């Protein structure tokens, strides 16, 4: 029983940065903007988040630093792709390269420093309940925040008028513009939201997951978050399933190796990606509810004046 609990806790922790970053990117993409710079925004968020927490001694301020860093990075992206109508794919890739360099520069003075990691919740008697106690009431704040975030985004996209307009911009920016909605402004907010989430997701790594900073510590999680958005076919509900599936496969394959299950570890490591490809194929073959990508995703919009 203890082992099951330990595995669930590890899965929750492993999935959290993916869920936060992917939720932000989902909103960005739903507005019609493809920002491939998630990894770059995350890694700068990690460096700034750690710097903030180390300088102030507060995890909360560290998280804020991460959010601000991600936001600033996304503003650069917004300026390029929305302001100057530069190609989104190229700009996103450049943003990642920039982020990797920047985080090394910002974090250089913090390598090897340590901080007290984010506190885990503890509610007497509730947290002590067997099995579910620690899962429901004993994780760090990031874990619960990520779930609240994705529920909030679902509610916003499908239950509010603003969410409907945002989705309209992503599906047909010309019509949305003709109806008088400020497409570029809406997209800018969506890009910023995505950047803030990526920054927070990056900050999660040095603040809670492994409480130290080392350059390159996001190790490609931003790319997984991007894949998750596609895996979820741009739907928050499926995104939660995808993120936890990814986390679960990652953790379970480690345990399977420890138990000596004879499946090659290389195959197990590749499994989540394989699942993404299979889901994509199935989606594109499905007749209804198939290709659900926002129709205007990745296309530049220049309003006629």
**What six digits make up the tokens of 219?**
């190790």
Residue 113 or 171: which CB sits closer to other proteins?
Answer: 113
Question: What's the min distance (Å) between Cβ of 106 and other proteins?
Answer: 11
Question: What's the min distance (Å) between Cβ of 52 and other proteins?
Answer: 18
Instruction: Count CB neighbours of 300 within 10 A.
Output: 15
Footprint of other proteins on this chain (CB under 8 A)? 2-3, 6-7, 10, 14, 100, 104, 107-108, 111-112, 114, 205, 209-212, 214-217, 219-221, 250-251, 254-255, 257-260, 262, 264-266, 269
CA distances (Å), origin 265, targets 128, 221, 242, 260, 274: 35, 19, 21, 10, 14
Please state the separation of Cα 150 from the chain's center in Å. 10
Residue 152 or 216: which CB sits closer to other proteins?
Answer: 216
**Which residue is associated with the tokens 């394989």?**
274
CA distances (Å), origin 181, targets 8, 159, 200: 44, 18, 29
Question: What's the min distance (Å) between Cβ of 69 and other proteins?
Answer: 18
Residue 46 or 176: which CB sits closer to other proteins?
Answer: 46
Residue 43 or 190: which CB sits closer to other proteins?
Answer: 43
Residue 89 or 108: which CB sits closer to other proteins?
Answer: 108
Question: What's the min distance (Å) between Cβ of 205 and other proteins?
Answer: 6
Answer for the pair 62, 202: CB distance below 8 angstroms, yes or no: no
Residue 275 or 283: which CB sits closer to other proteins?
Answer: 275
Instruction: Count CB neighbours of 259 within 10 A.
Output: 7
Can you tell me the distance from the alpha carbon of 89 to that of 94, in angstroms, rounded to the nearest whole number? 9
Report CA torsion sign: 251, 255, 258, 261: negative
């Amino acid at each position: 029983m203890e082992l099951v609990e330990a595995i669930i806790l590890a899965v929750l922790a492993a999935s959290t940065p993916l869920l936060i970053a992917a939720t932000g990117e989902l909103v960005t993409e739903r507005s019609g903007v493809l920002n491939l710079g998630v990894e770059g925004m995350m890694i700068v968020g990690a460096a700034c988040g750690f710097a903030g927490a180390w300088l102030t001694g507060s995890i909360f301020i560290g998280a804020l630093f991460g959010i601000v860093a991600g936001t600033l990075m996304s503003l650069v992206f917004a300026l390029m792709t929305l302001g100057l109508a530069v190609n989104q794919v190229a700009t996103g890739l450049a943003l990642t390269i920039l982020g990797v360099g920047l985080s090394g520069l910002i974090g250089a003075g913090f390598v090897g420093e340590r901080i007290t990691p984010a506190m885990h919740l503890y509610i007497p008697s509730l947290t002590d309940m067997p099995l579910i106690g620690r899962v429901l009431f004993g994780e760090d704040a990031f874990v619960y925040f990520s779930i609240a975030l994705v529920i909030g985004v679902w509610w916003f996209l499908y239950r509010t008028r603003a969410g409907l307009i945002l989705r309209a911009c992503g599906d047909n920016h010309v019509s949305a513009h003709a109806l008088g909605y400020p497409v570029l402004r809406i997209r800018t907010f969506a890009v910023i939201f995505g950047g803030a989430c990526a920054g927070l997701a990056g900050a999660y790594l040095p603040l809670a997951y492994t409480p130290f900073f080392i350059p390159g510590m996001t190790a490609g999680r931003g790319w997984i978050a991007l894949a998750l958005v596609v895996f979820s076919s741009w739907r928050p509900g499926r995104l939660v399933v995808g993120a936890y599936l990814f986390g679960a496969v990652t953790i379970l394959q480690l345990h399977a190796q420890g138990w000596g299950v004879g499946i090659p570890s290389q195959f197990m490591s590749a499994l989540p990606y394989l699942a993404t490809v299979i889901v994509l194929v199935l989606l594109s073959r499905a007749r209804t509810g198939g290709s659900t990508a926002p129709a205007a995703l990745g296309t530049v919009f220049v309003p006629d004046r």
